């Protein structure tokens, strides 16, 4: 029977540990760790995600400062807000909720976040440092996945990992983190030929494509580890888990697998940032 990689349970235990770290930080510094969240526009899903991140901060005793900007915000206006947060010593981490309205240069906005406050791991500089094995905050979702795999003692070294999706904040950093841990990595995308054949060889499959149940369960080989980083309104992920779960040796449920680890990693890295500047 497959092992369920329970991200909800692990995230809860990490939060219990963070409560102690936050309290110790408060006693030492007289301050409370603070995550600034920026929401541009009125996308209801984004608003929900930002609220969840604020709630997670509250559960561990951290502060969150919610900044809401109108749909009409320009790139310059957003950059000015980020610059203000970069220069504010009370702010330990900055989260710009993705996606932003189309008139904004999202990459310029991400890259304007100071490296030491890039707790969501979205900057090019942070990605480059992580890829080279240097110290940097990892992209929150892939870093959370790695933590989950490690917690359940999933072997990575020497395994063939297939990552489906190449987004800059999920697919690409996920592939790089697996490569850094000595997996053999194949990145698949919209131009990939014969996706089922590639997935059928994989020891580790990561669904990061953003399309509901796009990866069919019968493509997954017996005994593979299945990681589903997708979440859709139908409460399904990117992988057809009804079949994949019967073939896998371990899998992440949807919901309750990767999602809680993303938020857990974000607040943990905010705590790390606060402690680094004690």
Residues forming the active site: 53, 97, 120
- Give the torsion sign (CA, 55, 241, 122, 177): positive
Query: 3-state SS of 256-276?
Result: CCHHHHHHHHHHHHHHHHHHH
- DSSP secondary structure string for all residues of 140-201: HHHHHHHHHHHHTT---TT-EEEEE---TTTHHHHHHHHHHTT-EEEEE-TT-S-HHHHHTT
Contact 207, 185 (CB under 8 A): no
Count Cα neighbours of 64 within 13 Å in the Cβ-side half-sphere. 21
Which residue in 101, 74, 96 sits closest to 86, CA to CA?
96
Question: Do you find a cis peptide bond into 99, omega within 30 degrees of 0?
Answer: yes
**Residues 100, 96: Cα–Cα separation, whole Å:** 8
Contact predicate 209/230, CB 8 Å: yes
Specify the 3-state DSSP secondary structure of 247. helix
For helices 7-29 and 140-151, what crossing angle results, to 10°? 110
């Amino acid at each position: 029977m497959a092992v369920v990689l329970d991200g909800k349970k692990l995230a809860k235990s990490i939060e219990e540990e963070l409560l102690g770290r936050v309290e110790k930080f408060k006693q030492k510094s007289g301050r409370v760790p603070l995550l600034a969240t920026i929401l541009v526009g009125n996308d209801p899903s984004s608003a929900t995600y930002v609220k969840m991140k604020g709630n997670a901060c509250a559960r561990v005793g951290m502060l969150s400062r919610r900044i809401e900007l109108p749909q009409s915000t320009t790139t310059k206006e957003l950059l000015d807000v980020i610059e203000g947060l970069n220069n504010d010593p009370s702010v330990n981490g900055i989260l710009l909720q993705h996606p932003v309205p189309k008139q904004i240069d999202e990459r310029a906005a991400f890259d304007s976040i100071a490296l030491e406050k890039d707790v969501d791991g979205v900057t090019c500089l942070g990605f480059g440092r992580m890829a080279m094995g240097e110290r940097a905050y990892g992209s929150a979702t892939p870093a959370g996945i790695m933590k989950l795999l490690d917690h359940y003692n999933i072997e990575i070294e020497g395994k063939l990992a297939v990552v489906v999706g190449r987004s800059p904040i999920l697919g690409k950093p996920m592939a790089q983190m697996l490569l850094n841990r000595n997996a053999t990595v194949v990145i698949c995308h919209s131009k990939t030929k014969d996706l089922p054949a590639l997935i059928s060889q994989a020891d580790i499959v990561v669904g990061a494509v953003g399309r509901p149940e796009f990866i069919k369960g019968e493509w997954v080989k017996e005994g593979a580890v299945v990681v589903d980083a997708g979440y859709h309104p139908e409460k399904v992920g990117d992988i057809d888990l009804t079949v994949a779960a019967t073939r896998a040796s371990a899998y992440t449920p949807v919901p309750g697998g990767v999602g809680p680890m993303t938020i857990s990693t974000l607040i943990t890295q905010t705590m790390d940032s606060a402690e680094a500047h004690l």
